[in-house]
Structure 1
Amino acid sequence: MRDLAAHGSARAVVTEHDTLTYAELARRVDAVAESLGTTRRLVLVEGANHLESLIGYLGALAGGHVVLLVPSDSEPARETLRAAYDPDVVIGASGALDVVREGSAHELHPDLALLLSTSGSTGSPKLVRLSWDNLAANADQIATYLNIRETDCAATTLPLHYCYGLSVVHSHLSRGASIALTDLSVVDECFWNLFRAARATTLAGVPYTFELLERVRFGSMDLPSLRYVTQAGGRLDPEQVRHWAEVGQARGWDLFVMYGQTEATARMAYLPPRLALEQPASIGVPVPGGSLEVVDGELVYSGPNVMLGYADSPADLALPRTVERLRTGDLGRRTEAGVYEVTGRSSRFTKVLGHRIDLDQVERGLRLGGHDVRCAGREGLLAVTVAAGEVGPGLVDHGALRRSAARLSGAPPSAIAVVAVPEQPVRANGKTDYAAVLSLVEQLRDRTDGSATARTDTVAALYAAALGRSQVAPSSTFVTLGGDSLSYVEVSIRLEQLLGTLPPSWHVTPVAELEEAAARRPAATHRTVETNVWLRALAIVLIVGTHADVFVLQGTAHALLVLVGYNVVRFALASERARDRLRSLARGATRVVLPTLAVVVPAHLFGGYYETRNLFLANWLLGEERLGPPWRFWFIEALVVALVVAMGLVAVPAVARAERRWPLGLPLALTALAFTLRLPLFPLPGPRMQGSALVVLFLFFLGWSIARASTRRQQWIVTAVAVVSVGTFSGNPARDLLSLAFVLLLIWKPLSRIPVALVPVVQVLAASSLYVYVIHWQVLEHLWGAPVPAFVASLAVGVGYWWVWTNGVDAVRRGVSGLSAGRSAAGREPTIGLSADLLRSY
């Protein structure tokens, strides 16, 4: 980067309006360096993704000055750092120089080149001291393992003041490659227009970026110049790593998962693309010239990119190197395959929307405001509990606390949830139970004013919720309300949902004009819903209609088992932790068993229906091989057995490892194994009826496989398995074809457009399908011979049963959660409330 002119006429920077060669960039950088003079000074630079800001930053470095790089989109953070470090010169986002003094008020160590905040946009006075050797070494390390070429061009999807975004600039300029410089979001079509015009080859993202890419259907975009995609800034779910690696394989680009910290200039490890499918939970191998080791369970990094040390005040800018090896604060291990994995955190840092947050700093800042608070976090959520004490939870100003937490952390207010508790949860040793803090907030936030799901049905309400504003005037714009690069992406998505289309200059358009545009939006005639939702609704209608003799369309109950397997994987098995998976599966089984027994037990004891074995849902094991009333609940029995089998599988570490390595291969193998159990050579316990739990178990595993099929090739494989298994299961072509039709729709059309008028009906029938199935037999007992009345009454009573049951459970859940909060405050493990995800799992 020091000899930019050496690359001559090669393209250096591309913007929406300009293209600069390296020679032109070098001249402008040298001009800034000359204007700063030869006296070495502390130069504060506002790190915006603008050409003038980039030139100011490079010019300050080229002149040998020490750069304090601060966010341009956070005035509080900027002013806090300016007050703490008293820079000699300030270079604004527009490139304007504000010379505070001609000389320098600071003693600056000769090796010191750059100061970056340890926690993003918070304005924390704790800074990382980086040398020019650190910058050069890490730029070369990154350029080496990414094989950056002069023909490459990186689009700036991340802020310049963020070490990840800055490393993209450093590594490309060090190899004579170019930068497509923009502050546009990936959800903005203008971003992709620039990407194509610049023939960009590189895209970088934090986990939240990949959520946005999914939304804009990045996987199907025509981007012929794209060569590779990089990911860092927080852990990307292993399933997402696999998904994007497979998308890359199909589209001709590589995925590099990377691991780093500001303290290591940027990167410490990377996962070679060839390992992304095999080791998706791994951070990979050390960068060239660096090394990782595990010391007392903690990852420790060594290399030429390790910082000089920290600075807490201007006096520290004169310090020499104080750090030789970097203790990352991450717990980890080296696997048998020779790659490293992060297994947890030993320190109080977290990532929210890719933004590193010092939880202790936020907690201390909130306490200075007179609040007894505790802070915890995970990806996407900063959780705050405040002890209400004698004032009561209703007198806690959640909005004010949320705004203060946003200011201290740099996270958008919409990612922050505040919950009032009687007392803070503590462990037996008297220390704060931060796991309980996070659990309490996740349980209670939707019933408090600190909810992260605030009203956003108007533009003003949307801005108020996302930007933490109590009032939004009609003349306000996103920019005047203090919107920044993090809130930009979230607000743009929600605004598009509200308006239908996103105006190109929405961020500077007054709220009143946007409200008028929303009012002019024509009423939607169709809505997008998940296909599995309306299939559930249709299935229960066909099941009840067939049993009531309105028509004969058999096979949808078997399709429902496939839907169950599909949803269980998406919800109950979403976590990587075995404990969470087991808990979710157990709760799911409970949500099925309890409403079933509430019908079966009274029907047997007081009405003489069914057999004793039905009280234990064991007809599949102890029943007779002939049709009759005891078989009416075969679907429930099969569902419970499937959930219990799934619990047994995920509890086995070897199976869990196999699933991580072969996410599709394992459920396909289980499908094949379970399907062969139907053959006579396998002695199954119980009768071999078509509704016997073990006979139909393969349908559950087939649904699991469908949920894991993320590429077109995998969809075809699962389709073939479905045709062979579901298409031949009963030997009745009409029945098997109907089941297969449901399954194929689930595989190939996961989303559907249905008329708006049908949406409420579909939602109610899908949500109540379990309850309709359970109780419709008792309704039919009283209405045999009257098909249509029996059909209508069965659906109506089932929906009513669902409404009564779920409202009763919610009331109990509220009481349990309240009791849980009290017990947690006394140092006990918080009770986990019943989850709405369980209903979705069915």
Structure 2
Amino acid sequence: MWNLEKNKANIAMIDENGNTISYEEIQTYIDRIRVICSKRNLVLCLCKNTLGSITGYLAFIELRLIPILLEYSMEKDLMVEINANYDPYYIWAPEEINFEQYSKSISFLGYSLWKKKEEKVCVFHPDLAVLLSTSGTTGSSKMVRLSYCNLMENSHSIINYLNITENERAITVLPMCYAYGLSIINTHIMSGATLLVTNNSIIDKRFWKMAITYKATSLSGVPYTYQLLERMNFCKWNLPHLKTLTQAGGKLSKKLQSLFAEYATNQGKNFIVMYGQCEATARISFLASEFAKIKLGSIGKAIPNGELCIVNENGKKIEDPGHIGELQYNGPNVMMGYAKNALDLQIGDVQGECLLTGDMGYFDEDGFYYIVGRKKRFVKMMGKRVSLDDLENYLKDRQGINCVCIEKNDRLIVFLTDINKKKKVLEILVKVFKLPEMILDIREILEIPRTNSGKIKYSDLE
């Protein structure tokens, strides 16, 4: 799957300490694991952006083991729950962690493979390749079941529209257990390119030292990534080797999209806005760089071999532009379905290459798609239909107010990081959005809780 033989002379990964690993060396590690893992089974992978973590994942896919990819720092209670629900036969984890009921089999590149002390026979669907958390974070043992076909098809589509070649050097910004972060690994390894592997944040000087030293050609981030880059005056930096900026993982404000589109144009770089979901392996659509300024706010058009449409409440396709409905995607990268426990891993494809995304949107007269909010984030308050995403975006984009909105017990709760803005927010919600003051509850928080991939953690606020 990874074209290791074809690219064996190429450098596959470089870490922040200057350690390198070639495609030929990856094959050597795969062969070492092959001796131990003779039967197809589950591997719980506690992931970091390190050479060992990524090499293990590549090996498990190549050997047709089934990795469950989770953040290594996940909460202990969830770890216990996932172990109980899925009962993995192997664990791939940083070598300093020990596991009862397992015995250590092999260690390399800072990671160890643990194997159950008792033999275990399981049945898995032959197409099942990997399990990812539905949110890319902790909080639930519900998983997305992705097939080998899903991985291959979505990777080839992304390689196609981003024109990823063996000359690319992508630096890891996002966790590998997050669908967006994993897609960067998959596409660059398939292309024989080089990954610059680091756990450092983009606000860390060591991150940029690595990017400059090893001449990173691409940078990928979620909206929060680009918020941080703006604060760092990134657009004034001189990074001649950086050719491509990509964004996904949520809606980028028009202000930031315009800023980075202008930066890319002036610097001769590509800025590509994308849209995707874990349930579609990673990517669903992209906005080509030449449209970044013309179609502000758009998620673009479907990826190669995919199809987008808007459907009404009855599931009927909406034919006219400008009408809001639910975004539906059809393509070979749509997941097999969900899993809640090990028994679900025997089930085949239940989606039929069709995914109702849960996002509300529309398309314009040129066939470009736009997202207006999550279906579940449309609420009825005092008989009035309100989009919580619209409220947040209005306050952020037009007023510069950092906030998060949720609905609870028929009240709209707005969390602010600056309580001095309370009076202004109240005035906007009452006068602009026509909401009665009696249902409004404005509270102060020190910071907005976020996942490791930068998304807002609404569950913590609720």
Of all paired residues, the percent bearing the same amino acid is 36
| Match runs of 1:406-445 below 5 Å | 424-425=409-410, 436-437=411-412, 441-442=413-414
8 Å contact from structure 1 (residues 64, 113) kept in 2: yes
Q: Which residue of 1 aligns with 2:26?
A: 25
> Which residue in 2 is equivalent to 1:71?
71
Is the 2:173–2:202 Cα contact (8 Å) retained in structure 1?
yes
TM-score, L = length of structure 1: 0.44
Offset at residue 73 of structure 1 (A): 2.1
Aligned to 1:92: 93
Matching residue within 275, 289, 297 for 1:273: 289
Matching residue of 2:365: 336
- Indicate yes or no: 2:179 matched with 1:160: no
* Distance verdict in 2 for CA 1:582–1:78, change over 3 Å: same
Letter in 2 for 1:186: I
Query: Does residue 38 of structure 1 match 2:38?
Result: yes
Paired amino acid for 2:89: D
In structure 1, what is the equivalent of residue 151 of structure 2? 135
Distance across 2 between alignment mates of 1:25 and 1:217: 38
User: Given residue 248 of structure 1, which amino acid in structure 2 is its aligned partner?
Assistant: A
- CA distance in 2 between partners of 1:238 and 1:130 (Å): 33
Preserved CA contact (<8 Å) 1:78 1:123: no
Cα distance in 2 for partners of 1:341, 1:417 equals 21
> Residue 40 of structure 1 contacts residue 104 of structure 1 at CA under 8 Å; is this kept in 2?
no
1:423-453 deviation digits (Å, cap 9, x = unpaired): x22xxxxxxxxxx43xxx22xx56xxxxx56
> Offset of 1:348 from its aligned partner?
5.5
Looking at structure 2, the residues matched to 380 and 90 of structure 1 have their Cα atoms a distance apart, in angstroms, of 43
Give per-residue Cα distances to partners, 1:191-223, cap 9 Å, x unaligned.
Answer: 111111221101000011011111222112221
SS of residue matched to 2:376: coil
CA distance in 2, matches of 1:185, 1:59: 27
Aligned residue for 2:333?
Answer: 305
1:261 aligns with 2:261: no
**CA shift in 2, pair 1:113/1:348, >3 Å:** farther
Q: Check the 8 A contact 1:49/1:183 in 2, yes or no.
A: yes
Deviations 1:354-382 (A, max 9, x none): xxxxxxxxxxxxxxxxxxxxxx975999x
**More strand by percentage:** 2
Question: Contact 2:360–2:375 (CA<8 Å) still a contact in 1?
Answer: yes
What is the distance in 2 between the residues matched to 1:70 and 1:105?
23
RMSD: 3.2
Partners of 1:379 and 1:9 in 2: CA distance: 50
Alpha-carbon distance between aligned partners in 2 of 1:147 and 1:380, rounded to the nearest angstrom: 37
Distance, in Å, in 2 between the alignment partners of 1:165 and 1:99 is: 27
1:177 is aligned to 2:177: no
Report the counterpart of residue 349 of structure 2 in structure 1. Answer: 321
Post-superposition CA distance 1:700-732 (Å, at most 9, x none): xxxxxxxxxxxxxxxxxxxxxxxxxxxxxxxxx
Question: Counterpart in 1 of 2:308?
Answer: 292
Structure 2 counterpart of 1:241: 257
Q: Which amino acid aligns with 1:106?
A: C
Tell me how far apart the structure 1 counterparts of residues 371 and 193 of structure 2 sit (CA, whole Å): 32
* Paired amino acid for 1:315: L
**Amino acid in the other structure paired with 2:167:** T
Distance 1:252 1:29, change over 3 A: farther
Within 5 A, what are the aligned runs for 1:593-608?
none
**In the superposition, relative to structure 1, how do residues 28 and 315 fare at CA in structure 2: closer, same or farther (>3 Å)?**
same
Q: In the alignment, which residue of structure 2 is the partner of 1:126?
A: 142
Q: Distance in 1 between matches of 2:305 and 2:248?
A: 20
Which residue of structure 2 aligns with residue 530 of structure 1? none
Q: Cα deviations across residues 140-165 of structure 1 (Å, max 9, x unaligned)?
A: 11110000011001000000100000
Equivalence map 1:521-670=2 (5 Å) = 583=431
CA displacement, residues 285-328 of structure 1 (integer Å, 9 cap, x when unaligned) = 10001111111121111111000011112110000110010010
Counterpart code for 2:112: A
Selected match of 2:123 from 107, 130, 135 = 107
Corresponding residue number in structure 1 for 2:449: none
Secondary structure of the 2:136 match is: coil
CA separation of 1:348 and 1:102: change in aligned 2, threshold 3 A:
farther
Q: Is the 8 A contact 1:89 1:101 kept in 2?
A: no
Alpha-carbon separation, structure 2, partners of 1:270 and 1:3: 26
Amino acid at match of 1:300: Q
Q: Does the CA contact (< 8 Å) of 1:142 and 1:267 recur in 2? A: yes
Give the AA of the match of 1:232.
Answer: A
State the partner residue of 2:244: 228
Q: Is the 8 A contact 2:2 2:189 kept in 1?
A: no
Are residues 380 and 19 of structure 1, via their aligned partners in 2, closer, same or farther at CA, if it must alter by over 3 Å?
A: farther
The higher radius of gyration belongs to 1
Q: Go from structure 1 to structure 2 and tell me whether the alpha carbon gap of 1:41 and 1:344 turns closer, same or farther (over 3 Å shift).
A: same
SS in 2 for 1:116: strand
Q: Which amino acid aligns with 1:328?
A: T
**Matched residues in 1 for 2:226 and 2:47: separation?**
23
For residue 356 of structure 1, what is the aligned residue in structure 2? none
Unaligned runs of 5+ in 1: 350-375, 382-413, 426-435, 447-451, 455-571, 588-816, 825-829, 834-842
Task: State the 1:330 CA deviation.
Answer: 0.9
CA offset at residue 54 of structure 1?
0.7
**Alignment partners' CA distance in 1, 2:260 and 2:303:** 22
Q: Deviations over 1:245-274 (max 9, x none)?
A: 001111221101000000000000000011
User: Are residues 23 and 333 of structure 1, via their aligned partners in 2, closer, same or farther at CA, if it must alter by over 3 Å?
Assistant: same
Q: Contact conserved, 1:34 with 1:63, CA < 8 A, in 2?
A: no
Cross-structure match for 2:3:
3
Segments of structure 2 that go 5 or more residues without pairing to the other structure are 95-109, 313-324, 379-386, 393-401, 444-462
Q: Is the Cα–Cα contact under 8 Å of residues 50 and 199 in structure 2 kept in the other structure? A: yes
Report the AA paired with residue 20 of structure 2: T
**Relative to 1, partners in 2 of residues 1:188 and 1:377: Cα closer, same or farther, differing over 3 Å?**
farther
Task: Please give the secondary structure, in 2, of the residue aligned with 1:283.
Answer: strand
Tell me which of 163, 172, 176 is aligned to 1:147. Answer: 163
Cα deviation digits, residues 498-539 of structure 1 (max 9, x gap): xxxxxxxxxxxxxxxxxxxxxxxxxxxxxxxxxxxxxxxxxx
Instruction: Give the structure-2-normalised TM-score.
Output: 0.78
Q: Output aligned runs, 1:45-84, within 5 Å.
A: 45-76=45-76, 77-84=78-85
Matched residues in 2 for 1:101 and 1:226: separation? Answer: 48
Provide the rounded CA distance (Å) in 2 between the counterparts of 1:38 and 1:152: 34
Structure-1 separation of matches of 2:187 and 2:307: 20
CA change 1:16–1:164 in 2 (3 A) is same
CA distance in 2, matches of 1:184, 1:38: 35
Moved more, 161-170 or 210-219: 210-219
